[in-house]
Structure formats: C-alpha cells, structure tokens
Amino acid sequence: MEVRSQAPWRPWARAKPRVIVLESDRGQAFGPVAEYTAPGHLQQHFTKRRVNAGQCFVYILESLDWRFTEVFEANLKLHPALFEDHDRLVPFHGRATGEGGGIPFLPSAICDRGYVSFKYHEPLVLSPTPCGFRTVCEISGRHIAITRLMGKFLDIAAVRRKCTFWSEELDDGGWQCLIVCDPPIKRILTASGEHDVTTSPYNYGYWDFMRSHRQLAKSSGPPRTSFLDDLLFYFQAYAQDSGPTDPEFHQANIEKLQFSFSRRPDLTAFAIAAVEEQWSDIQALERRLNEYQDDIEAIMLQLRIPFGQPVLAATGRWEQSDVDYQFLHLRICEITRRADGLNSAICALADLTNSRQAFRAQDIGHQAAERSLREAKSVKTLTILGVVFIPLSFVAALFSMSDPYRPGGREFWMYFAAALPLTSLTLLGFWVLELGYSKGSMAWSFETVISNVWTKK
C-alpha cells in the first residue's frame, strides 16, 4: 500500500480535470478534439473564440476544480449552483464519506434552472477486491457500495456517479452546451488506507443504444473506459448522421448513456441472491434500493417525465427515454417491494428461530428440574437411612464401652430396648419437621403440622 504524505484529504482536492471542446458548423461533423488541462489555456480559447452563424460548441468537463469552474461561470454566464449541485450527492451533510449535502428536488425549485443533474450508480468490477464496506473514490469522494455475500466481499461495486447538462441557444441559430461528469476510478480510500485499483465494466458494460443498422455501419463501439470517452465517441460517430439542429440530440445521448451506465434492472438477481445474506446485509440492500428509487424519481422530475405505467406503443424513436425511465421506475418499485418481503421473511425466520431456541431452553430446563427432583428424592432416601442408622450407631457406640452389652453378652437385649425407642423418636421428629412446611412456603410452623395431620386423617 502506498502512503502519501500531503495535506488532509478532501473531495476533489486531488482532481486532475480535463476539458474537451468540440466545434462544428450547423449540420456538419465536429472538428478536431481540443483538450485543455490548464485553466489559463481554456481562458485563451474563450478569448479567441469567434461565433459564426449556426456554429455549435460542446464543452465536457471531467472532475471539478474551482479554477475551471470560474472560467466557465465567467464566459458562459453560468450560475454557481450548477457546479454545487454536481458536487452534492446525498440528502444530508456530514457523512463519513465526505460527500456534500443536498436537498430534495421540488418542481417549483427546478423549473427555471436551465440545467439538469443526474445521479446514477455505475456497476464496476474492482481488482483487487475491497475488504470492507467504507470505500470511496480518491478524487470525487463518491461512495462505492460494496456487497457481502455468504460472508465474502464481492468484487462487484455500485459506484455513485453524477452528470450535469446545460445548454443555451446562440444568435444566428447556433448553440452551446456544457457537460460535467465524474472521472474514472483509479484509486480508492478505505478504512485501512489508500489503494490503487483496476476497474472494468460489469458484465462487459452497457448495450450500445443506437439502432442496430447504424451500429453495423460503424467499425467500432464505445470504449467503455469512462463517461467522457464514451460520450466523445457518440458525439464524433453519430452526431453528423443524426443531423442535430439543437442540443436535444446530445441531451438524449446523455440520458441514454446514464440510463445504460446505471443498469438497475440487474438488481433483480442481486435481490434474490441476497436472501442468503445476514440480516444487516438485507438492510443495506433495502436502503440502496430506496436510494435508487429516489434517484430515478429525481431524474424523471428534472426531465418532466410523468410517473405512471410505461406505454410501449409510445416508443417511436431511439432518442425518447420517457418509457425507459418509467419502466425502470416500475422495476425499482417492484424490486423494493420484493426486498421488503424478503426483509419480512428474514424477520419471521428470526422469530421462528428464537421461538425454537426458547422451546429448547424450556425443554432443557424441564429435564434439569426432573433430574433435580430425582436427586432430591435420592438425598431424602439417604437422609432417612441416616436417621435410622445414626441412633443405632450412637447406641452401639454407647454400649460398647462395657463388656456385658456386646453381642452375645447377658445384657445385649438392652441395646434394642434403647435403640428402637430412640430411632422411633428420631423418625417422629423428622416427620413432624416435614409436616411443618406448606406447599410453596419456606417457613415452618406448628399450625401447619396440625393442619397437615388433620388433612391426612
């Protein structure tokens, strides 16, 4: 494990942002890709930029850095809330992961924002496999959800991600847009320290969402190495074929790509497999499903997609994602209900197990009580034998002091004359002591003796 000696870690403090700029005239393919890794060079681009009639600009920012965001805010006249919303991920502040707090979406609060911000979860395969739950991305601080199955941590992780899209129309029919996305994961922070990791798409990544005949016309597909690389592929490979006249085509690409990355329908198998997990893991699964449902509803709210049953007949073009999100929302709700039922079954199983253990404990206690009763009876028998033989032994010892009282002597009959009355008197005393205790009481009384004697008569 490599340990870095530097300032305390915080989200985005180690970010190495890069900006991709694409330019095109209306109806034409995008020109060469321009990449900027220094904010000064990006500012020079805006200073030298000349907007012609119908010209289009696409800016893609990977990772957050206040120096780059200031350049975009100043030149694109952006509200700082755009980058703040991209940073925020959780509905409350002060998490151990360091993620910024956020607020729930309300229709009245987002109706005139001019941008949309999508939160999603990307399934990745991590190598080496993490050995704990508390895992975050070194750059963004986004939480990486690790799953435990049958007491073993899996190498499949659900990574929190976010993508923000903004666009506006320019004079003379042109437009420009800004896309902010998260970087690929190359290093993670865990409770035990920092670790380099290698990531790969889960189950070979998402399906290419373009029409099949258009995919066949291309010689390659998306690289699936990062959100930026995949988005750049679709811009360069399909933008001219579609002939976009506004940024709606690119927003549709964003929606489709984010939808493909999240791959939430795969959670069906995950929920069924989690039946063998411990109760705490079932709780974690249910919490994740509730979070996924909140994310889908937030995206649908921003895209003005109505909540309801998906109408498959309304799917006419690949750019339309309304039915996809409605179906995804329906499936997440169904899987959440299934997880609730699984949680109830686990709780019922725990109750049955506790009842069986209590029955076994009661049975063991009953057997112990029976053994104690048998032992008490044995002790009582030994006590009676002791009561009988102690007077005999005492008298024998007493008369052994003189020769006439030994067996065969002329006075031996006096042994029985003294021992038998003494034994009878001892047994009578023992019997009186036994009759002096009532049922369920530990106190002895003479009234109890008289009452028991009359009851026995």
From 180-184, 268-272, 383-387, the region with the lowest mean pLDDT: 268-272
Each residue of 368-389: pLDDT tens digit? 877 787 677 667 767 777 777 7
DSSP string, 162-203: EEEEEEEEPGGG-EEEEEEEPPPP-EEEETTEEEE-EEEEGG
Higher pLDDT, 191 or 396: 191
From 158-172, 233-247, 352-366, the region with the lowest mean pLDDT: 233-247
In angstroms, the Cα distances linking 240 to 30, 96, 250 are 8, 46, 12
Distance of CA 121 to the CA centre of its chain: 13
CA distance 133 to 375: 55
pLDDT for 177 equals 92
Q: What is the mean pLDDT of the chain?
A: 76
Of these ranges, 280-284, 407-411, 422-426, the one predicted with the greatest mean pLDDT is 422-426
Q: Is the pLDDT of residue 276 over 70?
A: no
pLDDT for 365 equals 82
In angstroms, the Cα distances linking 108 to 105, 113, 305 are 9, 10, 15
Q: Is the pLDDT of residue 125 over 80?
A: yes
Higher pLDDT, 34 or 300: 34
CA distance 405 to 260: 112
Higher pLDDT, 253 or 109: 109
pLDDT for 37 equals 94
% of the chain with per-residue pLDDT over 90: 16
